[in-house]
Chain A
């Protein structure tokens, strides 16, 4: 099929995509194959001893209550980041799409969270919730004297705070895309709906939300990737996976096994598992999205 577009040069198209294929092969396929291969071994700290163990790295992981707990924590965390994050930012984007004075200031004030690094975001939230010196525990103590809000020992609270911080950090990114999506919706459509007697809710439900669906699908995917892969800095600064593994997300667990414990077999197995989870989720999302999203205009 492609050959038809290069009449007389049957090899040329393949030659042209060869460089990108080579890059993909060297930097993605080969390391991934090495990961899969490495996940069948147990390796000593200095890498001098290597024992083939078959699938036992995987079996150990699925038998380990800590790992299963980490899976559960990650599912809660990513659901929180995706659902709360997307609904909050859609709401804010709708407000920012109104014609009000000082709009630029509001827009900047709400978008800047994206531009700070995860480490800085982590420090801000950790200081806010510091048990003895933070603002939030102090406010809680005003309302409820004698009670100390300590996220260093309260696992559920720690998970909530970390989820909140991660969501907050992604807010700016989501708002920018939602705003762009909203501004692409032609005014005629909403005007027509208003003439037909639709209130704001009906107009949102039947016009704005469906018209936004390509943006929403994209953000759904980006937020899921973010929640799975890009929150390492936040966790490392805020909780290091504690208290009692309550915020030990899969990617943080993977980092610790790979780079602190230097247990490469176990880490390889984990990266393969995360890859499969993400691949399946992405496929499901894309399938649902292409069926539902209103790309045509």
Chain B
């Protein structure tokens, strides 16, 4: 009996000891929107981080698509149960900036009494998420758009598979050749139509909205219904009429047609590269986005998502979150992220490591988009990309305008004017509230 009591007491003591040890472990939560094959890479990175930091317990939670994750985050923030870290898509950037719910990442090292070298990140990526030269959210999954083409179909149509089109004029010319030779019924399609439309503005250094693309102050008016936007949409509508362009719907729905060899060219996010390479039964070529001749050069815009840190956490939690953000910048982690997903490696060390091991020469398609953003200009707001409050809605409005114009339901000019009026109304409402 006495033995029993002693044993019980010992057990109790052990329990309290371990629980205080457990309590010392800082627990932090991260909500993200990475599903499918990306989820596995995220899980591997999180496991690696937890193993390397026994004093921290990072719980990563898939909370649905980007829009759903943001909705949940807002709901949680309102009730005071927000996670420490959240992944938000690039169109949510202005909303997050205006939310008052976050700590800008550039302030975190100072708050913890640490130093951090911000220049180690790839500049065009950090530019996108910076305000007045300071980084507000940590770049995580960054991509841009590029042109994919089917080398086999090019050869079949009598085109040089190593000379993809560089301009929209060449896209039209090659496209007609591909269609007329009977190799395909349509030559070109693209995903994320609104985003590709935005890309064209930045790629030719044209402003998409006033107040320097919403980067010098909140945008009040969109500029996409000006002569440049009309010219872009007129070109697309003409290509559609000539059967060169086949409108393929939102997001990734056009990918099947390209992988199935029904079209020969596809403008799509670089994050589709791994999937397309795996699925295609032909030689995949990639190149820079086509240009409109006679317009200035800009840069292609960064898309994807970044990580935002919630305001009002304890210093221990903030320190743990910062540890994780630093961990993501580690060379091996960034390399693993890039290889597993096709997203850009965000730190320069990782780029060098990939280069040294011959990763890019094994499949130079992984280098295309990278060279595209590094060779473009980065000193103008127009080339950095637009920032809008109600960006999610406005991108939907752009898509509706593109659909109306390429189907011939409205003239490009009228479709854009209609869209701009709606977008301006949304901007006015947003600015009234913030």
Which chain A residues have a beta carbon within 8 Å of chain B's beta carbons? 42-49, 51, 66, 126, 130-133, 141, 148, 150, 152-155, 240, 242-245, 256, 259-262
A245, B77: Cβ atoms closer than 8 Å: no
Residue B170 is within 8 A (CB to CB) of chain A in the complex: no
Q: Which residues of B contact A153 (CB under 8 A)?
A: 240, 247, 403, 406-407
Per the bound structure, the CA–CA distance linking A243 and B410 in Å amounts to: 13
A259, B68: Cβ atoms closer than 8 Å: yes
A150, B247: Cβ atoms closer than 8 Å: yes
With A132-B256, A261-B390 as contacts: A244 and B248 at CB distance below 8 Å: no
Q: Which residues of B contact A243 (CB under 8 A)?
A: 247, 249, 400, 403-404, 407
Per the bound structure, the CA–CA distance linking A45 and B67 in Å amounts to: 13
Q: Which residues of B contact A47 (CB under 8 A)?
A: 74, 78
Q: Which residues of B contact A141 (CB under 8 A)?
A: 185
With A46-B74, A46-B99, A152-B248 as contacts: A132 and B262 at CB distance below 8 Å: yes
Q: Which residues of B contact A48 (CB under 8 A)?
A: 99-100
10 new A-B contacts, CB < 8 A, other than A46-B98, A152-B247, are A42-B429, A43-B433, A44-B434, A46-B77, A46-B100, A131-B246, A148-B243, A242-B249, A243-B403, A243-B407
Q: Which residues of B contact A242 (CB under 8 A)?
A: 249-250, 399-400, 403
B257, A132: Cβ atoms closer than 8 Å: yes
With A132-B186, A242-B249 as contacts: A45 and B407 at CB distance below 8 Å: no
Chain B positions 393-407 with a Cβ under 8 Å from a chain A Cβ: 393, 396, 399-401, 403-404, 406-407
A259, B71: Cβ atoms closer than 8 Å: yes
Per the bound structure, the CA–CA distance linking A187 and B432 in Å amounts to: 70
Instruction: Tell me the smallest distance from the CB of A269 to a CB of chain B, in Å.
Output: 14
Instruction: Tell me the smallest distance from the CB of A258 to a CB of chain B, in Å.
Output: 9
B101, A46: Cβ atoms closer than 8 Å: yes
Per the bound structure, the CA–CA distance linking A277 and B257 in Å amounts to: 41
Q: Which residues of A contact B434 (CB under 8 A)?
A: 44, 49
Closest to A245 in B: B400
Instruction: Tell me the smallest distance from the CB of B406 to a CB of chain A, in Å.
Output: 6
Per the bound structure, the CA–CA distance linking A260 and B392 in Å amounts to: 8
Instruction: Tell me the smallest distance from the CB of A119 to a CB of chain B, in Å.
Output: 13
Residue B283 is within 8 A (CB to CB) of chain A in the complex: no
Residue B167 is within 8 A (CB to CB) of chain A in the complex: no
With A42-B429, A244-B404 as contacts: A133 and B262 at CB distance below 8 Å: yes
15 A-B pairs with C-beta separation under 8 A: A43-B433, A44-B434, A45-B74, A45-B95, A48-B100, A49-B433, A133-B262, A150-B247, A155-B403, A242-B400, A243-B249, A243-B400, A259-B68, A261-B392, A261-B393
Q: Which residues of B contact A150 (CB under 8 A)?
A: 246-247
Per the bound structure, the CA–CA distance linking A133 and B189 in Å amounts to: 13
A131, B248: Cβ atoms closer than 8 Å: yes
Q: Which residues of B contact A43 (CB under 8 A)?
A: 433
A130, B256: Cβ atoms closer than 8 Å: yes
Q: Which of A51, A126, A243 has the largest number of chain B CB atoms within 10 A?
A: A243
Per the bound structure, the CA–CA distance linking A260 and B249 in Å amounts to: 19
Q: Which of A45, A66, A242 has the largest number of chain B CB atoms within 10 A?
A: A45
Give the top 9 A-B pairs by smallest Cβ distance, nearest first. A132-B257, A132-B262, A243-B403, A153-B407, A152-B249, A244-B403, A44-B433, A244-B404, A46-B99
State the interface size on chain B (CB cutoff 8 A). 44
Residue B260 is within 8 A (CB to CB) of chain A in the complex: yes
Residue B134 is within 8 A (CB to CB) of chain A in the complex: no
Q: Which residues of B contact A126 (CB under 8 A)?
A: 253
Residue B263 is within 8 A (CB to CB) of chain A in the complex: yes
B262, A244: Cβ atoms closer than 8 Å: no
With A152-B248, A244-B400 as contacts: A45 and B99 at CB distance below 8 Å: yes
Q: Which residues of A contact B247 (CB under 8 A)?
A: 131, 150, 152-153, 243
Instruction: Tell me the smallest distance from the CB of A268 to a CB of chain B, in Å.
Output: 15
Per the bound structure, the CA–CA distance linking A111 and B407 in Å amounts to: 37
Residue B409 is within 8 A (CB to CB) of chain A in the complex: yes
Closest to B250 in A: A240
A260, B67: Cβ atoms closer than 8 Å: yes
Q: Which residues of B contact A42 (CB under 8 A)?
A: 429, 433
Instruction: Tell me the smallest distance from the CB of B367 to a CB of chain A, in Å.
Output: 29
Per the bound structure, the CA–CA distance linking A51 and B256 in Å amounts to: 46
Q: Which residues of A contact B74 (CB under 8 A)?
A: 45-47, 262
Q: Which residues of B contact A148 (CB under 8 A)?
A: 185-186, 243, 246
Closest to B71 in A: A259
Per the bound structure, the CA–CA distance linking A131 and B186 in Å amounts to: 11
Closest to A260 in B: B67
Per the bound structure, the CA–CA distance linking A99 and B240 in Å amounts to: 54
Chain B positions 216-266 with a Cβ under 8 Å from a chain A Cβ: 240, 243, 246-250, 253, 256-257, 260, 262-263
Per the bound structure, the CA–CA distance linking A130 and B260 in Å amounts to: 12
A133, B257: Cβ atoms closer than 8 Å: yes
Q: Which residues of A contact B77 (CB under 8 A)?
A: 46
Q: Which residues of A contact B99 (CB under 8 A)?
A: 45-46, 48
A155, B257: Cβ atoms closer than 8 Å: no
B253, A152: Cβ atoms closer than 8 Å: yes
Per the bound structure, the CA–CA distance linking A244 and B418 in Å amounts to: 12
Instruction: Tell me the smallest distance from the CB of A42 to a CB of chain B, in Å.
Output: 7
Q: Which residues of B contact A44 (CB under 8 A)?
A: 433-434
Q: Which residues of A contact B432 (CB under 8 A)?
A: 51
Per the bound structure, the CA–CA distance linking A126 and B250 in Å amounts to: 13
Instruction: Tell me the smallest distance from the CB of B253 to a CB of chain A, in Å.
Output: 7
Per the bound structure, the CA–CA distance linking A43 and B186 in Å amounts to: 46
Q: Which residues of B contact A256 (CB under 8 A)?
A: 396
Instruction: Tell me the smallest distance from the CB of A61 to a CB of chain B, in Å.
Output: 13
Q: Which of A49, A132, A141, A240 has the largest number of chain B CB atoms within 10 A?
A: A132
